[in-house]
Amino acid sequence: MGVPLVGCASHRLNRAVQKYLLQHEDDLAAVQALMIKLRTLTQSAKLRLKTELQPVIRQDTRWSSTFGMLKRYFQLLEFLDVEDDDIMEGLKDVESVAKALQGRDVDLLDVRQWFDELIALKPQFETHLGSRAEIVHSPDFESGCVRVLSGRQDRLTRAEKTALGPFAKLAVDATVESDDEDLSFVERLRKRRRIVEPSVSYEQLKTIPPTSNVVERFFSVVRVTFGHQRHGLLPATLEMVLFLRENRGYWDSSTVNSIN
State pTM to two decimals. 0.65
Q: What is the per-residue pLDDT across 22-81, written as a single tens digit (0 to 9) for each?
A: 777 777 787 878 778 877 877 777 777 777 777 777 776 666 777 787 777 777 765 334
CB neighbour class for 1 (10 Å; exposed up to 12, middle 13-18, buried from 19): exposed
Tell me the domain boundaries of the chain: 9-129, 213-259
| pLDDT tens, residue by residue, 111-166 | 999 999 999 988 888 999 999 999 999 999 999 999 999 989 889 999 999 999 88
Q: What residues are paired with 200 via a beta bridge?
A: 170
Q: Is the dihedral of CA 244, 249, 254, 259 positive or negative?
A: negative
Distances 34 to 43, 76, 158, 244 between C-alpha atoms, Å: 10, 11, 55, 45
Cα separation, 205 vs 111, in Å, equals 13
pLDDT digits (tens, 9 = 90+) for 69-97: 777 777 776 533 444 455 566 677 888 88
Taking only the tens place, the pLDDT of each residue in 169-194 is 876 554 545 546 677 777 777 766 66
Q: How many CB atoms are closer than 10 A to CB 112?
A: 21
Which residue from 17, 9, 11, 12 is spatially nearest to 93, judged by alpha carbons?
17
The string of pLDDT tens digits covering residues 188-229 is: 777 666 655 557 788 889 889 898 888 888 888 888 877 766
pLDDT at 84: 46
Residue 108 has pLDDT above 70, yes or no: yes
